[in-house]
Structures are given as C-alpha cells and as structure tokens.
Structure 1
C-alpha cells in the first residue's frame, strides 16, 4: 500500500511593503537548509528545517538570515578535509554584480556550529584578481555582465560568466579552529583559491558537479571534464622553510590533493586540501590551470544528445533542431540525467573503469520515454543505491515520480546490449496533482519532494 504524507507550508511575509514573491528554491539535504530566492533577488535562509516535520497547513517560521540584493546566482557548498571528516561545514554562496557590473561580488555565509543561523564569513584570498572587502564580500576582478551561473559541490564551485565567456573553478577551505572572522563576520574564516579557468567559445546553458565530474550543458550535448585532472593541474616551485629552519624547494600542487589517483573520479568527490599542517601558508603560490572548452588534448569529451537512430531518420532537407541542455542532475557515480530545451530527458551513463576524457570512452545514452513535455527536473543522488529516483513536472499542476532500475549495472560496458535493455527499465510510479501552478521543484530525499507553487510550498513523501 502506498502512503503519501503531504504538508502545505505558507511563506511568511517579510518586513517589506509589498513583500516580494518567491522566485526559486534551493535545499541542502546535508544540513537540512532551505534557501528561498525572492523576486527582488534577496534570499531567506532557513537552517535545520525539515519541511515534512512541520505541521500540515502551517506557516514557515521567520527566516534566521536574510541576504540582501542584488544576487544573480547561488549554491550550497559542503566543506570537508576528507571523506571521513565529521566536522564538515555548510556554506551558502551568492554571486552578484559589483560596481555597475564591472566586477563580480561573492558573499559567503557559513552555517554556525549551533546550527541555527548562517553568518557572514571573512574570506582570505591570496591570488591576483581576488580581494576581500569587509563591507561587501569577495571582489573578483572580472566583468559580471548580464548573467552568472554558479554550481556547488564538496570543497569546490564553478562560476560561468556569459559576457566574459569563461568558467572559473574555485576551491574553498575552512581555516582551522581558532581563526576568528573579525569585523562582525561571525561565520569564521574561509580561504578561496582559483584552480582553473575554462575559455568558452560556445554558450553554456547549465553547469553541474556529478561525483567528481564537471558537466557543461551545451547545444546538442554535454561536455564532461574530470575534476581531479583540473584541480591537480599546474604547480610552481617555491622557496620555503624546511622543518629544520633551512630554506629549500618544495613541489606544491594546485592547492588540493585527492584521495585517489587522477582519473579515479569515483573518489574525486573526496578531495582535500594539501598542506593543512603547513606553518607557512603564505609561501604557497597557487597556479591556475587554463583550458579550452573544445580542447583537443583529451581534457574533456563531448556526449551528443542525438543518437544514431535520430540522425538516420532525419531527412537531408529537414533542418535539425538545436537542443540546449538546460538542466543536469547527477544520479550515481556514473550516471546523470539531462533535460533539454524541448522538454525531453536523456540518461547518460559512463562505463566502469573509464575516465571521462579517455579517447576510447563510450558513454551510454538513452532517450527516456515520456508522456509529457518536462519543464523542471530534480533528483536525489545517492551513492549507496543502485536505483535512481527522478521527479519531473509539466510546469502546470502535475509532478511525476520516475524510478530507474539497476542503473549501476547499466554502466557496465561488458554487458553489451544487455546494458541498453536495462536502461529502458524506467517508469512512472507515482503522480502528484497540485492546486497551484508549479514554479519549481526540488528533491528532499529519494522519496520526498518540495514543490513551489504560486504562494505556498508543498512537501510530499511517498512510502
């Protein structure tokens, strides 16, 4: 028997007149933190909030933290030194224009150890073009332009500027205990390092971190980079004091090191910072890896969203429609799903024991069957599960819960045609009908979802 738990949450009015509407939502399942973006580009932050635990038809409590505008993009980051680090920290990152858009402003809000509030953090920047302004945040000396896209992961985030045609990959480190924020920044201190810059010659419609991969949504396909290969790229020799007090040369990596070898992207998500016991951190000179979006040196590979059957069935006289990969959601260490600009879904799987930039890599691509054109997509990635749960909506009043069976087995390239058969085992198992038109959806767990309507939030759990 299917049991559905449902709750309607009314969004409280802010102390503004008129109170701005909610434009989008973000949720961090690690800290149970909810971020509501308002129509004036401000944010309300709710830490330690479980929507399903609140009484039905109740109002959300007043937000503990308000992030003032202007804001252009945002993301949650999880900071940890290694995979077993129990003292991980959650950071909410917001980008925005600075000085008329001639620069980019980054603001970092760290969830305090008490877990009841996000507080502004002081950020240490040691690279050219990055500076910290106590009254505003981190000023990045590059043009903001018309739009910025940010995607966050564990210890890393990527930022794309359409006007500049560049993607910057940054690493963020929480400084050791005892280093206070100062200047009213109660969130402590963070260190920001620029690891790589990707020069883009084509538009990028979406960015996602997927278990050690950076996936760019482009026209007619997605481009996949190996995160480990990027962050362990360049290095410089610098002179430093040895433990015996004498000067010597040290080979320093690009600010980070991985728990596995480069190319082992299953472990790439467990990236930690090098030299955490270094008594002379100022001597570390970070180098930035420079890449091309369409580089032919094997740093990335492109997966087209059109299969051979699609190409063969297209008439020569018929113009091929350009598909834009608008949303990318990770499902497992080797699987992610893509929503294109016409509302179709594509499941992409990487074979075992293959790096995404290998010349002989063979991605499995499956166009997922559907009964409606999809407007929004969300999924809850879980490394411990072999099945993937996907939520989609039609932009009106319907949400479908889809389950794909044995997706990890489908990644095994040795299975031949059997892998393609397993990829087709995806079906709609539940449907939710809402009374308000759907603005956005976000996954709370593998069996739970949060829906943003026209003035309320709806939380559903299916068991």
Structure 2
C-alpha cells in the first residue's frame, strides 16, 4: 500500500489588503462537492473562494469570490430539467432581523459561479434586486445551519428554534424557483443536521430524529373548489361555488341537505348546508388556483412522521425517550448510502444508523456502534451504495488521520440471528494511519482513497493506492 502526499499552496484571501497591518485571514474550513468537483474555501473573515473544477495539480486564483459577511453555505444539486450545481449562502440583513439567501449557479463552460435570479411568490420570501438575493423574513439570530442535497435544502435557526425545508427548481438559464415547503418547530436542542437520500436527520441529545423528506416537500395544496352540475336533459354546464376547503361534497337524498366534509388538522368535520341540488346531476370537483402551503409540525410530533433513534435506550419508542443527565450529543451526520448513515457523538464514538428502504415499510430503524480505537472529532466519507465495505476517514483533530474500512455484517436485520442487532458491533479495521505535522482542522473525502486535509495554515491531499 502506497501513500502519496501533496501540499497545496493556498492563495492569499481575495479581500486581503497588503497595506492592512494585521495578518491576513487564514482558511478556517472548506466544503467539497463531488458531483461537480467544486471546492469552497472559507476564510476566517467569513469570505469564500470557489474553485470549479478543483485540481490537486494546480491551485490557480479562484474565479469566484464571495465577500463577507457569510454565516452559512452549502452546495446543492438540481436535477430538473438538467443536472446543475448551485452554491447557496446565507447572511444577516437589516441588523439580523432577516436572512438573505443568495444562489450562485455553476457555468461549466466558464468554470465559475454566477449569481442566479430567484423567483418566489410566498409571503415571507422576496427577491431583492439591490442585494441580488432572497430576503427571508425571519430573524437570523446568533447563527444558522445550512445543508443541501438534490433539489432540497434545510435551514436551521438556533435563535428561532425552527428548521425550514425548501425546494429549488431550475426554470432556465440562470433563473431558479424557490419554494418553502415545511417548517419544524424545535422544542429540543439540535446539534447537527443532514439532508441526504430522501431523509432529513436532526442530531439531538442521545440520538437522532429522522424525517422522511417526501411528505415535507410535497407541502399542502390549498384548494378552491366548485361543484360542476350537468343536467341529464341538457348539455349546459353550470358551476356552483361552494366553500369547499380541502374537502369533498356528499349530497343527500334528492340533493337536499348536502354535507360538506373537510379534513382539517387530521380531524374530519361535517356541516350541513341548505344548498339544493337537482336530483339529475352529475357531481365533479374542479381545483382552481392551487396554492402550495407549508407543512408545519413539531420536532417531537406524534403524527408518525418522525422516528427517534437513541444511542443508548431500552425503549425505542420515540414518544417517551428518557435522556440521561449526561448524554452524548449527535454532532456529526454523514451518509454512507441511501440506507446507512454514520453518526458522530460528542464523546468521540461512531454509530451506524440503518434506515428503512421505503416510507411506511415494516423494517424498523436500528443503530449499531462501530469499533475503533480513537476518540473521533472529524469524520469524512464519500457515499457509495455499490459496495458493502466502505472507506471512512476519521481524525482526533490533533495530528492523526485514520483510513478505516467499515464492513456492514448485514445491512438489514438478520432474521436467523437470535441476538438483538442493536447489541452487535459493526467491525472496522484501520487500513492506513497518517500523521500530520499540523493539527487537523477539517477533512473531506475526494474519493474512496483520497482525502483533503486542512491544517493550521496548510492544506494537504493524501492518496492511498
């Protein structure tokens, strides 16, 4: 096994002035987007340099630089109609009274990101021409978290105690449409957040809470309906307006005392109306001007949408979780594949979370702890569903980096095994150990056998062959 190392010489931050007496801001972290091979370098002054495509052989000046202040950022892949990469950033505006969302779309021909024009028609979202971004009328607060995946991203505000789920669609050229689909009221602290493979996962005390994305993204459609009546003796059509909100009409004997039934908050309510309908009519419903409304629910909702998976818990019922006084927090979430996620807790342990392959399936979620001999502080992995043994990079945030192979003994519950799957450990082995001359600040997997490491002022790439 051969280890090849490259030191990447970082350019000066784009907004650094040589005449300024203080030292230039250093690179604090980075994000890598494997689909477009784009790299975002975060400077300590909260500015960002974007590289696309990123190359290990050369490090030219970035073609796209984003000025501060930037509070959070994420890559986002659009697959409608064509695969397109977006880079999304948030900033506080109006003294932190609102959040500014700015989208940058990748121009593959010019190898640079350019500002995208955003279309939005919801009441609390407004595109501001002067700022070339969307003003989201919620308080920014002390900090926000932002994560994106395919066509969907989530924004978490610590001060507001809310998670918002958005969908993005490309309309053509540099124009995209933004839709707010769901809002989750958080009654418990959230330490990490992930959107990947159709799941929204919140890192909490003693475990994670899993939401399937489909019911969140679909939203609710506000329907304005009418009743179409057609006489059997005539071809004349007549539309009668009735206040049918999210419901249906059931007419009684000879069309008298018809009942209007609507579903509101999960409860079926029926009222009577004196609207008289002729007995010789055919009833139909027509949806006019459908309006998308956000789904709203609580973090600890008992509607059966969310599932809580604890690190250590005798009762897997998420409605009655008893959190220990000093429980581990889920501080990192990384997808291994569409059904497996790695969870890093605040005590330096790794847990493997198995998810059901479809919403409503009978396969229960379960979690296992990984075996490793390091208190993990940094975690990097490149998702891959094609193999049962996957490469994971872990670090103690000091000088050590381990390449480990995670072997899934059984991706599903083994029905022939009498042991409780939650009590079994997933075996891992250290394939390679790398020692860095600088303390590890951040790691990102470029491929299954290549990792990017940010030290205290230097960046290194290690390839294993």
Unmatched 5+ residue regions in structure 2?
18-22, 227-236, 247-287, 316-323
Q: Structure 1 CA distance, aligned partners of 2:460 and 2:225? A: 57
Aligned position for 2:35 = 30
1:376-415 to 2 correspondence within 5 Å?
Answer: 376-406=378-408, 409-415=410-416
Residue among 282, 285, 288 paired with 2:291 = 285
Q: Structure 2 CA distance, aligned partners of 1:380 and 1:369? A: 20
Aligned position for 2:255 = none
Residue among 196, 207, 211 paired with 1:210 = 196
1:255-334 to 2 correspondence within 5 Å?
Answer: 285-308=291-314, 320-334=325-339
TM superposition shift of 1:122: 0.9
Q: Structure 2 CA distance, aligned partners of 1:90 and 1:388? A: 26
Q: Structure 1 CA distance, aligned partners of 2:225 and 2:119? A: 21
Q: For the Cα contact (< 8 Å) 2:223–2:289, is it kept in 1?
A: no
TM superposition shift of 1:43: 0.3
Structure 1 residues 127, 415: CA separation in 2 closer, same or farther (over 3 Å shift)?
A: farther
Alignment of 1:456 onto 2:458: yes
TM superposition shift of 1:327: 0.5
Aligned position for 1:62 = 61
TM superposition shift of 1:415: 4.9
TM superposition shift of 1:284: 5.3
Q: Structure 1 CA distance, aligned partners of 2:344 and 2:441? A: 16
Query: TM-score, normalised on structure 2?
Result: 0.79
TM superposition shift of 1:417: 4.9
TM superposition shift of 1:450: 0.5
User: Which structure is richer in relative contact order (CA contacts within 8 A, separation 6 or more)?
Assistant: 1
Aligned position for 2:50 = 45
Q: For the Cα contact (< 8 Å) 1:169–1:196, is it kept in 2?
A: yes
Residue among 174, 180, 183 paired with 1:197 = 183
Aligned position for 1:105 = 100
Q: Structure 2 CA distance, aligned partners of 1:130 and 1:233? A: 16
Alignment of 1:341 onto 2:354: no
Q: For the Cα contact (< 8 Å) 1:326–1:340, is it kept in 2?
A: yes
Structure 1 residues 420, 427: CA separation in 2 closer, same or farther (over 3 Å shift)?
A: farther
Moved more, 190-199 or 423-432: 423-432
Moved more, 366-375 or 116-125: 366-375
| Equivalent pairs, count | 394
Q: Secondary structure at the match of 1:169?
A: strand
Deviations 1:179-213 (A, max 9, x none): xxxxxxxxx11110000000110111111023111
Structure 1 residues 122, 351: CA separation in 2 closer, same or farther (over 3 Å shift)?
A: closer
Structure 1 residues 403, 94: CA separation in 2 closer, same or farther (over 3 Å shift)?
A: same
Aligned residues: CA RMSD: 2.7
Structure 1 residues 366, 124: CA separation in 2 closer, same or farther (over 3 Å shift)?
A: same
Structure 1 residues 384, 191: CA separation in 2 closer, same or farther (over 3 Å shift)?
A: same
Q: For the Cα contact (< 8 Å) 2:92–2:100, is it kept in 1?
A: yes
Q: Secondary structure at the match of 1:175?
A: strand
Q: Structure 2 CA distance, aligned partners of 1:211 and 1:112? A: 25
Unmatched 5+ residue regions in structure 1?
178-187, 241-245, 254-281, 310-318
Q: Secondary structure at the match of 1:229?
A: helix
Structure 1 residues 323, 115: CA separation in 2 closer, same or farther (over 3 Å shift)?
A: farther
Deviations 1:305-344 (A, max 9, x none): 11549xxxxxxxxx74221110000101111011111211
Q: Secondary structure at the match of 2:215?
A: helix
Q: For the Cα contact (< 8 Å) 2:371–2:427, is it kept in 1?
A: no
Structure 1 residues 90, 284: CA separation in 2 closer, same or farther (over 3 Å shift)?
A: farther
Deviations 1:358-378 (A, max 9, x none): 7x6532222222222111111
Deviations 1:222-244 (A, max 9, x none): 0000001211241122589xxxx
Q: For the Cα contact (< 8 Å) 2:369–2:425, is it kept in 1?
A: no
Q: Secondary structure at the match of 1:230?
A: helix
TM superposition shift of 1:3: 2.2
TM superposition shift of 1:350: 2.5
Q: For the Cα contact (< 8 Å) 1:26–1:36, is it kept in 2?
A: yes
